[in-house]
Structure 1
Amino acid sequence: MKIEETSIILPLPTQKDIEKEEHYWKVTLPIEYVTFISKYNGAVPITNVFTVSSHEYVIERFLCVLEDSEDNELGMYDIDVVLSQIEDRLTDNEDLVGVELLPIASLFGGDFLCLSFKDREQSPAVGVWKHEESSELEPVFLKGFSSFKEFLANLTE
């Protein structure tokens, strides 16, 4: 996969930053995603097209982990900032503590690429959360890949 190197959002998250977020989100992130975000925090991909359910999607930017999103000009791409805006549309469980769908990239048209932790017994699937079709406690998620590693292998230009 190719990344616009100058688009990486600094500072890069430390292992401590990522563990703090995992605790807050009540999930264990896949090691491939942890490695990715530790190197390409919030980057714009050059290799940015993938297909789910016979529809092509384009990644505008991966989301990032920032210790202080308010003091960063790209803070709107912080995962916690995005979660605060759409979290009631990412689950069908009003009593949920943590996350079931974790947005990891913004897609052209307002949708988000997400890790799905709905089945906590398996590693998270990767797919598309549809913003126009989702409503409060009624998310529309299209599973595309069984893992983040499989997702990365299917990106094209």
Structure 2
Amino acid sequence: MPFDPASIIPPPPPGRVEMLEDYFEIPLPDDYKRFVTTHNGAVPLESRFDVAGLERAVERFLPIIQDVEGHPLGWLDLEVVASQLDSRLTDDEDGENINLVPIAAVLAGDFIVLDYREGSEHPTIGLWDHEASEDFAPAVTTVARTFNEFLSILR
């Protein structure tokens, strides 16, 4: 899968991914963790995919950044985006568990997410719809069973 080489930023510093896993209280998939070490914040050159009969496009994979305030892409950092969407990424009204982790921005304000609602071991990949989602009622359509499968469907 080709990416714009100018869009790729340095990998997260040692321990940063583990800090996110602690923050979300869920393990990130190994294929996704390998991806961010080589393609952190990447813009795919083949970005289109179909969901529910509509063509969508990935704008950029969310970077994982140590110093978000000092970085031009800090506003797109995975943790920053997750914090902004907060209660719209979970169906747990107690607010104790996040169910969805945004990993890529999609044109028109939606996000590709790791969907942990069926369990924390093997999240599916979904399209989170910003217009249909509400607090504690996220609207997600499954796109792929794994992160690598999602990469393989981009065209």
TM range (shorter): over 0.9
Counterpart secondary structure, 1:18: helix
Does the 8 Å contact 2:44/2:60 carry over to 1?
A: yes
Q: Distance in 2 between matches of 1:123 and 1:136?
A: 24
Task: Let me know the Cα RMSD of the aligned residues.
Answer: 1.3
Aligned to 1:7: 7
| Structure 1 residues 65-84: Cα deviation after superposition (integer angstroms, max 9, x where no partner) | 11111110110110111011
User: Which residue type is aligned with residue 23 of structure 2?
Assistant: Y
Aligned to 2:77: 78
Aligned to 1:128: 127
Does the 8 Å contact 2:40/2:63 carry over to 1?
A: yes
Give the TM-score taking structure 2 as reference length.
0.95
Q: Distance in 2 between matches of 1:29 and 1:121?
A: 9
1:45 is aligned to 2:22: no
Q: Distance in 2 between matches of 1:23 and 1:148?
A: 20
Give the total of aligned pairs: 155
Gaps in structure 2 of 5+ consecutive residues: none
Q: Distance in 1 between matches of 2:120 and 2:60?
A: 29
User: Which residue type is aligned with residue 61 of structure 2?
Assistant: F
Change (3 A) 1:121 1:30: closer
Aligned to 1:60: 59
Over 3 Å off, 4+ runs: none
Q: What is the identity percentage for the equivalent residue pairs of Structure 1 and Structure 2?
A: 38
Does the 8 Å contact 1:25/1:99 carry over to 2?
A: yes
| Structure 1 residues 78-128: Cα deviation after superposition (integer angstroms, max 9, x where no partner) | 011101111111111122434210000000000000000111154110010
Does the 8 Å contact 2:101/2:113 carry over to 1?
A: yes
Counterpart secondary structure, 2:69: helix
